[in-house]
A and B are shown apart, each in its own frame.
Chain A
Amino acid sequence: DQQVKQNSPSLSVQEGRISILNCDYTNSMFDYFLWYKKYPAEGPTFLISISSIKDKNEDGRFTVFLNKSAKHLSLHIVPSQPGDSAVYFCAASDRRDDKIIFGKGTRLHILP
Chain B
Amino acid sequence: NAGVTQTPKFQVLKTGQSMTLQCAQDMNHEYMSWYRQDPGMGLRLIHYSVGAGITDQGEVPNGYNVSRSTTEDFPLRLLSAAPSQTSVYFCASRDGPSNQPQHFGDGTRLSIL
Cβ of A98 and Cβ of B101 under 8 Å apart? no
Cβ of A98 and Cβ of B43 under 8 Å apart? no
Q: How far is the CB of B74 from chain A (nearest CB, A)?
A: 14
**Contact count band on A:** 20 to 34
Interface residues of B in 58-113 (CB under 8 A from A): 58-59, 90, 92, 97-99, 101-107
**Interface status of B53 (Cβ within 8 A of chain A):** no
| A44 contact from B40, B59, B99, B104, Cβ within 8 A | B104
**Majority secondary structure of chain B interface residues (helix, strand, loop or mixed):** strand
Tell me, in angstroms, the Cα distance from A24 to B48 when the chains sit together.
Answer: 24
Q: How far is the CB of A7 from chain B (nearest CB, A)?
A: 12
**Interface status of A93 (Cβ within 8 A of chain B):** yes
Known: A44-B43, A101-B45, A103-B42. A95 touches B97 (CB 8 A): yes
Residues of B within 8 A of A (CB): 4, 31, 33, 35, 40-45, 48, 50, 56, 58-59, 90, 92, 97-99, 101-107
What are 5 A-B pairs with beta-carbon distances under 8 A? A31-B99, A36-B104, A99-B48, A100-B33, A104-B40
Residues of A within 8 A of B (CB): 6, 9, 31-32, 34, 36, 41-46, 49, 51, 89, 91, 93-95, 97-105
Cβ of B45 and Cβ of A99 under 8 Å apart? yes
